[in-house]
């Protein structure tokens, strides 16, 4: 589009630039961000998770002269997981960095912008893998963890048909969301005092849930205030919805926040117990750890800085011998592990 002004003005007036890049591509990434901000450290060539698969039979009532059963009964097996490796490349051309570095003309730092953009692109790609089943070189995802053998007949190198306690409750609905379906899925994932800590679904299904319960909860929220979910916790601010105000950032179900994630696969509604869902990160021995921050990009899901480390590592800049350029890689090593798939459940094929 041509300027409204002619050379009389434009030859002596500098163009104006906003000092941040607007992210118009990346959407929400709730599950991946919550999981990656609470990493545990990887151990060994494989991560071994012991689990109890049967009850001991050496016990019971006895009479005065009865002898005890002293058989040795094994009640445990172990799951084994391999680390996976993910990278994101960053390449800069020397002449472009040189021009951008001129103090009188630089608006936004090129190096910093490209680094932050690459980190965010990597997180976005990881968000897609988090909803997969660990196929190929991908990290393990929720389709593989919260599964009944549909996507993975073996989990942690154990056969789900044999060790059924490694199955999650998965309900194929082929219809609309109802409160009764949510109740059944939530109950199926409960074990004693353990219960799902968050519900994650698509934006469309989240809207359906809001529509289902809005008539019954508007009065309560007017008194207590609307819940909000941050990257790693749920908060309830003091300000309530006033007259004429509708809609919510997060809805609750049985004390569990329900949030929408653009990465969630169509028709799915997860009831996750995050206490048994962890990303185990493997530190890169030769590289330096970096955190995900954003100071040059605005408008996206990563606009607010995340102070907790994501376990990413940076290779440092590498210079080719025949080109004025630099390149490097951001790495993430490790894997997502659900230690107890039975404590999570899923509704699928919701319409």
In a domain, 55, yes or no: no
Structural domain tally of the chain?
1
pTM for the whole structure:
0.83
In a domain, 304, yes or no: yes
In a domain, 268, yes or no: yes
Residues 282, 302: contact at Cβ < 8 Å? no
In a domain, 195, yes or no: yes
Q: Which residues contact 306 (CB under 8 A, 6 or more apart)?
A: 33, 37, 231, 291, 292, 293
What is the pLDDT tens value at each position of the chain, 351 positions in all?
Answer: 666 656 655 555 555 554 555 555 455 788 888 888 888 889 899 999 999 999 999 999 999 999 999 999 999 999 999 999 999 998 989 988 888 887 776 767 788 888 888 888 888 899 999 999 999 999 999 999 999 999 999 999 999 999 999 999 999 999 999 999 999 999 999 988 899 999 999 999 999 999 998 765 555 554 445 555 655 555 555 454 444 434 445 688 998 999 999 999 999 999 999 999 999 999 888 888 877 666 655 555 655 545 455 567 888 889 999 999 989 898 999 999 999 999 999 999 999
Only one residue has tokens 């529509």, namely: 211
Residues 92, 111: contact at Cβ < 8 Å? yes
In a domain, 7, yes or no: no
In a domain, 336, yes or no: yes
Q: Are strands 198-201 and 312-314 parallel, antiparallel or unpaired?
A: unpaired
DSSP letter string, 133-158: ---TTSPP-HHHHS-SSSS-SEETTE
Burial profile 260-272: b = 16 or more Cβ within 10 angstroms, e = fewer: bbebbbebbbbbb
In a domain, 31, yes or no: yes
Containing structural domain, residue 318: 22-50+77-350
CA distance 292 to 124: 12
In a domain, 5, yes or no: no
């Amino acid at each position: 589009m041509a300027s409204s002004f002619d050379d009389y003005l434009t030859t002596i007036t500098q163009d104006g630039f906003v000092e941040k890049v607007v992210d118009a591509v990346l959407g929400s990434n709730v599950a991946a961000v919550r999981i990656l901000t609470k990493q545990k450290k990887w151990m060994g060539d494989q991560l071994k998770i012991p689990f109890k698969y049967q009850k001991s039979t050496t016990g019971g009532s006895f009479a005065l002269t009865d002898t005890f059963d002293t058989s040795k009964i094994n009640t445990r097996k172990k799951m084994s997981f391999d680390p996976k490796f993910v990278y994101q490349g960053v390449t800069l051309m020397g002449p472009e960095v040189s021009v951008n570095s001129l103090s009188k003309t630089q608006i936004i730092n090129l190096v910093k912008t490209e680094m932050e953009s690459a980190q965010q692109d990597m997180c976005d790609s990881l968000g897609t893998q988090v909803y997969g089943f660990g196929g190929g070189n991908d990290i393990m995802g929720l389709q593989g963890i919260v599964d009944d053998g549909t996507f993975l007949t073996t989990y942690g190198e154990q056969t789900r048909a044999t060790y059924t306690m490694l199955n999650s409750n998965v309900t194929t609905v082929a219809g609309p969301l109802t409160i009764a379906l949510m109740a059944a899925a939530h109950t199926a994932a409960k074990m004693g005092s353990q219960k799902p800590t968050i519900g994650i679904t698509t934006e469309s299904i989240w809207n359906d849930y809001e529509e289902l319960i809005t008539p019954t909860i508007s009065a309560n929220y007017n008194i207590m205030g609307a819940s909000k979910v941050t990257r790693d916790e749920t908060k309830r601010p003091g300000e309530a919805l006033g007259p004429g105000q509708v809609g919510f950032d997060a809805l609750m179900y049985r004390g569990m926040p329900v949030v929408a994630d653009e990465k969630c696969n169509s028709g799915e509604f997860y009831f996750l117990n995050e206490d048994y869902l962890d990303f185990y990160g493997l530190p890169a021995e030769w590289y330096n750890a970096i955190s995900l921050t954003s100071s040059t990009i605005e408008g996206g899901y990563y606009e607010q800085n995340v102070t907790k480390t994501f376990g990413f590592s940076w290779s440092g800049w590498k210079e080719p011998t025949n080109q004025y350029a630099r390149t490097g890689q951001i790495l993430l090593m490790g894997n997502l592990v659900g230690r107890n798939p039975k404590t999570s459940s899923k509704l699928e094929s919701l319409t």
